[in-house]
Amino acid sequence: MTTLFANKNRGGVQPMTQLDTIVQSLRHEQHDRGVAFASPQVSRAAFAMEGINDTMQSELNSSVQSLNAALEHIVSEHGLRDLTQAQKDAALAAATLSGDITGALHATIKHDRVSTESMKFIVPQGEDKMLERIKPALEAYDEKENKNAVVYSVAYNMQAARQDEFGEAFYPTVVVTPDQVGYTVSIRLIEVYNETKRPISGAPTANFGRRNIVQAVIDPTILRNDQTKIVPVVNDEATAAGYFVPAAAVAPYSVMLSDDTAVSTAPLAIGKKFSLLGISQTEALLDTGLLDVTDAIDTQLALDAVYVQFTTGGATPTTEVVKFNTRQLPLATFNFAVQATYRQMNLQYETQSLLIGPNTVLADGSASTILSAIVSGGYEARIGFSVFGSINLELGNTELNASSVSVATIKNNSDATLDLSTGTGATLAALIANAKVIGYDLDARRTNSNRRQRGQLLNTNFYNQVYTVPLLAPITIPRPMQTGDSNDSSDLAALITTTRIRTSNAAVDELLRVQDLLAETTSALNTSATPNSAQDTPEIMGVSRFVVQPAYMYKPLNISTSLDSLSAHQRAADIQATLVNALRDMAYTLYVQSGYKAAADALAGGVAPVPTVIIGTDPYIARYLMVTGDLRTLGGQFDVKIVSTLNERMSGKIVMSFGDFSAERAGVPNPLHFGNMAWKPEFTVVLPMIRNGAQSKELTVQPSFLHITNLPVMGVIDVTGISAAAASKVPVNFHTV
């Protein structure tokens, strides 16, 4: 008797836990409002919003605001500063539904909540009677149980809608509203594409080749600004007329235009007169019709390159052609004619400084034979000539001519100028004696004032990703019917603890599932810190795949073989440096490969804040990851959040990704954070149950949550050998010099 009394006495003086404080405060608030925190009408409107009207919407808004103020008061009064926004939202949702618990419990499973026009519900033989035997005896639901269910549900959701630090770092909790079975993440896509004609074959159209404009930050070929560029097209008529340099001198070559079509072109011939507009009609232009009197050349004209032919003497002379780029050189631009029609532009290009030296190659990229004595002998020769002529902007008529080629200077590798009339200088000058200008390239564009071409097209599109939150396995605490509610608070704490462990373990499970998925679907060809090709983006994860390139890195790291340590007292620092260096290299590589910065800047509407690298591991490895005295573990480019878990599946493993912990993103799905946990508020109820002819009372809850990965970017390091390196001698590699 004495022992029993002593136990009861000790139980009576136990200090109140935080959960007890919350329950007590909620009961005070409930006493002021009645059995429920909201009226039955407001509650039904919350979980069945398809029938809501303006009056009920106003009442629902007013009730939610009042409940939110009451919960904020409880949080502030008891100093519950560690509550996340998701915990507050979950408690508010549960309080809103408290006016009609029975209706809320059945709202997600009633057949009339599903469209049944073309569906038939089939119940196996005898199942209807089995379900009848185990269903909750709600007719025995008394007023006291109702009051407890309301308070416990709010307290449960306030405390359980959160994982451990590891889970919350990778998958911050967001709350799904009571009237929904999940949530939708929508992203606005600005897509760029070239105008495409539909094939008469009726073949399906593949998205018109649209590309996300964010990817153009990484791949500059997506945005091209050369659709109006004039590119002479090699065809039979122009070739026969001699408008191009002969193919024997410079072979025609292919140029890729912005509309992804290839055009065969060649240098234009010196001394020939032709219509530049007429000779430059590509297939894309011909699809819009032949160029006519409304087409003209833009005034920005320049001599882009000059082709000089060098010829050997003798009975069987050989020729080679060198291309000299002139676009950025003085006098290479056309100017309006001082006299003649105002649509005429003249060129008077003169130079004495074009260089033949060690970097000189032929027009086709091969090495020169004729000029090898200069190119390979360490000499530099400067040549000069002039190119002159005119272009009529309206007609397109073009004619350029050139003077003879002369040698200005030749210098040796000591920068001494050679005498061109005798000795080595004369010998080298003779190699250039027979040179002449045979062709040229122009930098020219059409005005497109008649809007013949529309250029690249932009399209704004919206992509929706729907996530449905499942109703998972229940958690139940059974007890005899005659037991009072004195143990309800401790039983509720058990439900909360169990739920948190379940959600935290599910976060680790999802994290490792994503590792397997990325290992299977992400290209392993790119192992350097260069962006992945946007063309090869696999359709995985969520909407983030439209703005971020999937990137995955895996590295096994044996510390005992990777570490060179001379002193035992420095070994911990050396282990730390080995791990941090591996993480730093992995973080920067993933940052570049994924194009995370481009996506963050685009979604932020400018310059995004410094990204956060999330590093998850076990507690043993975590102690080595913070650089002593430096909070910037991975350098100033990133913020770092290091979390650990005791989950055995993370033992010896480091997982890394990126996240956004800015305050404005708290409590909402964030496509630039690695993931989110969707939490749907559920009731904890004390149900009188009839099972196998026996009646019992059960405190039960059926959690509803889902871990969702947004960002297909992950780095994984499997670490071994720390214990051996920390406690044993480490072999040092000595190299004899």
Burial class (CB in 10 A: 0-12, 13-18, 19+), 379: buried
Q: What is the predicted pLDDT for the residue at 174?
A: 92
DSSP structure class, residue 200: T
The runs of H, that is alpha helices, within 241-298 are 283-286
**Contact in structure between 697 and 481 (CB atoms under 8 Å):** yes
Helix 143-160 and helix 488-521, axial crossing angle in degrees, nearest 10:
40
**Alpha carbons 682 and 475: distance in angstroms, whole number:** 12
Tell me the one-letter amino acid at 355.
L
The domain ranges of the chain are 191-225, 236-443
**Alpha carbons 539 and 521: distance in angstroms, whole number:** 9
**Alpha carbons 166 and 641: distance in angstroms, whole number:** 10
**Alpha carbons 208 and 722: distance in angstroms, whole number:** 54
Nearest to 319 by CA among 355, 271, 371: 371
**Alpha carbons 640 and 634: distance in angstroms, whole number:** 7
Q: How many residues does the chain have?
A: 737
Q: What is the predicted pLDDT for the residue at 141?
A: 44
What are the structure tokens assigned to 473, written together?
């396995």
Per-residue pLDDT tens over the stretch 468-507 = 898 888 888 887 776 665 566 778 888 999 999 999 999 9
Strand partners, 709: 675
| Strand bridging mode 612-617 / 653-659 | antiparallel
**Alpha carbons 593 and 39: distance in angstroms, whole number:** 54
Positive or negative CA dihedral for 10, 13, 17, 20? positive
**Alpha carbons 7 and 400: distance in angstroms, whole number:** 110
**Alpha carbons 616 and 632: distance in angstroms, whole number:** 16
**Contact in structure between 161 and 496 (CB atoms under 8 Å):** no
526 phi, psi to nearest 5 deg? -95, 105
**Contact in structure between 231 and 255 (CB atoms under 8 Å):** yes
pLDDT along the chain (737 residues), means of 10: 36 58 72 64 64 66 72 72 80 73 57 34 36 41 59 85 93 84 81 76 74 76 80 90 93 83 92 93 80 90 96 85 94 92 93 93 93 91 95 94 95 91 92 94 91 82 86 85 65 89 95 92 61 58 82 90 67 84 91 86 75 92 72 71 94 94 80 91 78 77 91 93 71 54
Per-residue pLDDT tens over the stretch 114-173 = 333 333 333 333 334 433 333 444 444 444 555 677 788 888 888 888 899 999 999 999
Burial class (CB in 10 A: 0-12, 13-18, 19+), 323: buried
Q: What is the predicted pLDDT for the residue at 491?
A: 83
